Chain A
Amino acid sequence: MNIAIKPHEHEQHQLGFVRRYIFSTDHKVIGKQYMALSALMAIIGGFSAYIIRWQLAWPESSVPGWGPIGPDQYNAIVTMHGTVMVFFVAMPFLLGGFGNFLIPLMVGADDMAFPRLNAMSFWTQCVASLVLIASMFAPEGPAAAGWTAYVPLSDNPIYTGVYLGQDLWILASALEFASFLMGGVNFVTTALNLRASGMTLMRLPLFVWMEITAAVVFLLSVGPLIAAAIMLLLDRRLGTSFFRPDKGGDPLLWEHLFWFFGHPEVYVVALPGVGIMLEVMPVFARKPIFGYKMIVYSTIAAGLLSFIVWAHHMFVSGMDPRLATPFSITTIMISVPFAIIVFAMIATLWRSSIRFSAAMLFALGGLASFILGGVTGIFLGSQASDIYMHGTYFVVAHFHYTMFPVTFFGGFAGLYFWFPKMFGRAMNELWGKVHFWLSSLFFNGIFIPLFLVGIGGSPRRIYELSSYDMLKPLQPLHVIATVCALGLFAAQIPFIVNLFYSMVRGKVAEKNPWHANTLEWTLDSPLHHPNFPVPPRVYRDPYEYSVPNLSEDWLPQDQPPSLVEAATAAR
């Protein structure tokens, strides 16, 4: 067989600035590009959250830095907030960012299976982001039918008054799907084909398992939504009747097709964040992960089950009530694998030597909040209680208590953890802890009131409560939530300063500052191209911490057994 190992290093030096940094095919650069892009989009997502919160707390006033908000504009901003946060922040950051950066390193490969496809996936996501931003400048404004784009609100422009904006939203979503299809293909192929010698599937870091499962779930769930998006676009532009009841269409078809994708999608977003927590916790507890195999099987089970729970979003949609019970059952079932994973994390922490670094704090805080979020899902998963809760702020609080911890807290845990590897310098731990405590405090301060608002009966997606007498007593809760939201935004300032300062003036980090076992920590920081000057050889799983009779409390995956024996003998 004709194996030509490309002389990478020479190639890289000959590439110009553009090829090397802008259109780079190096997975580490692409990972950082994804992170930068999602950070920019997070500004938009966060700013829209600011507008929403201000409007809800003080509806009479004009939002500082924006202007007065009417109901139509409110709908558009809510739509943008959801769309941007799910598709343009969470997914690119956790999958495109961390996935790209870490998967090749963790499996022991020099790059992704398809580096050019990887670059293309990033640039497609860029174009998608630009299209979405452009939609905000459309004549009637951006899409205003919610991130779920229910028909006929999204289908017939007369309802929202938005013409071009909604079409551009469809286009941006389609491009985003294309980008993640390309990325997903890369992740799965790389993890299956490019593993280093000795890296069996059961020795993969759990983060990689999570990313692959997320990629597969995405790949299999996105199809029907692409079909539905095409149908929606045709309805809007060519006058087809897929979803128009007056012409024989069925609005419920959209809901089914959307949520068939929409529910697996939230696990696509959640699993990588959980994966980050699963990497961070053993390192700062100096203890092996409890129940590696159970976690893997639970992840796969959760991925499979995620395909048969979707109609719990539709209990009150008018769908056939006979579908409600089966979907309630499957929804309750899906809490089991997640519970197993949570129990495994807790068992990992049990009787361990926890070091409360910034990364660990974020992982722990994320776990705690995620448990609360998961538990509140049970009320929504049973059709009886959902009749009351659906469409209220209880739902909003529930999904922010699940998505936010895994993406925000999980994401920051990952950032503080892998920053030394990405940039060769250390972030300031003290300010990291300040960032955590403030964020955690304010995050809970926003959403616990919202649970109460929801139970109090307030529907979501309404731009102010004053028209409803029964909701007026809930107004102070909105004020509390908004004040905490402002606090949450302010709490990000120490992080931003810390991030940029540390990138250029942070203390130079050693190769393996956390004494972790996975392969990326065996390499110099920052990393070179190719990743592994010598092909790694893997001998064990990545969670061998505090192994008895060894001089160190960590045992890297690529440490040959002979050296381990020597270390043991030396004691």
Chain B
Amino acid sequence: MAAGAQSVSAIAETDHLREIPAGKMAVWIFLASEILVFGGLITGFVLYQFAHGGFAADAAHVKWRFGAFNTLVLVTSSMTMIMALASARADDRRRVRTYLFLTILLGCLFLGVKGFEYRGEFREGFYPSSGMFWSFYFGMTGLHAMHMMGGIVINLMLLIAATRNVSSEFLQRRIEYGGLYWHFVDVVWIFLFPLLYLT
């Protein structure tokens, strides 16, 4: 076997496969560390709950209906995101753009509802400085919201890419990786919602 026959020195942009595509590994490594960021906050919140005997009084002021609606929005956006990937695999650019657009829209809707909730809470006189529960509520949902904004920006970039003449393979990969991030943000919310709204 001739030593030079393998395209071994091709750099990663061409997805030199050593079991797992480089980009996918990179995204998962990043998500692994993100698990611990939210994990640190959740640890603090859960342990403080036990220490303080629960935050029922304060927690009663969050509007669980909004939270539930937002969960529905986010879960649906996960579905539209994965459908964007499926459309990319089927090489249907129009559908890709539609689903990406829907994902972005749902993401913005989530943020809008969150903003509306915040406004209501401020009106009622609840700020981050209003107590331990509120510290965590604003802290965790705020951090999550910032991750969502990042995700929306990523999806916008994907949408723009989908309008351009990029290769199908390139688009599939990028949407898959962007999707991994988006689903992760969804999973975080799947835990944040009951933690903050339902306990």
Contacts and interface: CB of A to CB of B under 8 A. Distances in A.
Contacts of B20: 192-193
B33 A532 contact: no
Q: Which of B51, B52, B128 has the most CB atoms of chain A within a 10 A radius of its CB?
A: B128
A535 B41 contact: no
A193 B18 contact: yes
Interface stretch (A220-228, A281-289, A428-436): A220-228
Interface string A182-206: 0011101110111111000000000
Interface string B31-51: 011111111110110011001
Contact of A239 (B128, B143, B167): B128
Given A110-B9, A238-B129, A250 B51 contact: yes
A114 B12 contact: yes
B14 A110 contact: no
A242 B132 CA distance: 7
Contacts of A188: 25, 29
B166 interface: no
Given A110-B11, A113-B22, A230-B143, A537 B29 contact: no
A537 B3 CA distance: 6
**DSSP majority for the B interface?**
helix
A249 interface: yes
A225 B41 CA distance: 10
Contacts of A235: 135
Contacts of A110: 9-11
B12 A249 contact: no
Interface string B44-75: 10011001100000000000000000000000
B46 to A, nearest CB: 12
Given A530-B9, A535-B6, A240 B40 contact: no
A5 interface: yes
A535 B3 contact: yes
A109 B32 CA distance: 26
Interface string B67-87: 000000000000000000000
A111 interface: yes
Contacts of B128: 234, 238-240
Nearest to A240: B135
Given A234-B128, A253-B44, A113 B26 contact: yes
Contact of A240 (B17, B26, B139, B167): B139
Contacts of B138: 234, 238, 240
Contacts of B12: 112-114, 189-190, 193-194
B16 interface: yes
Contacts of B116: none
Contacts of B169: 2
B43 A189 contact: no
B165 to A, nearest CB: 15
A535 B33 contact: no
B8 A535 contact: yes
Interface string A1-26: 11111100000000000000000000
A281 to B, nearest CB: 29
B122 interface: no
Given A6-B11, A223-B34, A189 B25 contact: yes
A1 B143 CA distance: 40
A189 B4 contact: no
Interface size bracket, A side: 35 or more
Interface string A238-280: 1111100001111001000100000000000000000000000
Contacts of A194: 11-12, 16, 18, 22
Contacts of B40: 223-228, 257
Interface in A93-122: 108-115, 117
Nearest to A560: B3
A329 interface: no
Given A227-B44, A249-B132, A5 B10 contact: yes
A86 interface: no
A196 B25 contact: no
B120 interface: no
B48 A5 contact: no
Interface string A159-186: 0000000000000000000000100111
User: Which residue among A223, A231, A536, A560 has the maximum number of chain B CB atoms within 10 Å of its CB?
Assistant: A223
B41 A239 contact: no
A534 interface: yes
A350 B109 CA distance: 69
B37 A226 contact: yes
A225 B39 CA distance: 11
A555 interface: no
A219 interface: yes
A222 B33 CA distance: 7
A562 to B, nearest CB: 12
A485 B52 CA distance: 50
B198 to A, nearest CB: 22
A2 B167 contact: yes
A223 B39 contact: yes
Interface in B156-178: 167, 169
A193 B25 contact: yes
A41 to B, nearest CB: 24
A5 B9 contact: yes
Contacts of A242: 44, 132, 135-136, 139
5 closest Cβ pairs, A-B complex: A223-B36, A227-B40, A239-B129, A240-B135, A224-B40
21 contacts: A5-B14, A110-B10, A114-B12, A186-B26, A188-B29, A189-B25, A190-B22, A194-B16, A196-B8, A196-B9, A219-B33, A223-B35, A224-B43, A225-B40, A227-B38, A240-B135, A241-B132, A248-B52, A248-B132, A250-B51, A257-B44
Interface of A: 1-6, 108-115, 117, 181, 184-186, 188-190, 192-197, 219-228, 230-231, 234-235, 238-242, 247-250, 253, 257, 530-532, 534-537, 560
Interface of B: 3-4, 6-22, 25-26, 29-30, 32-41, 43-44, 47-48, 51-52, 127-129, 131-132, 134-136, 138-139, 143, 167, 169
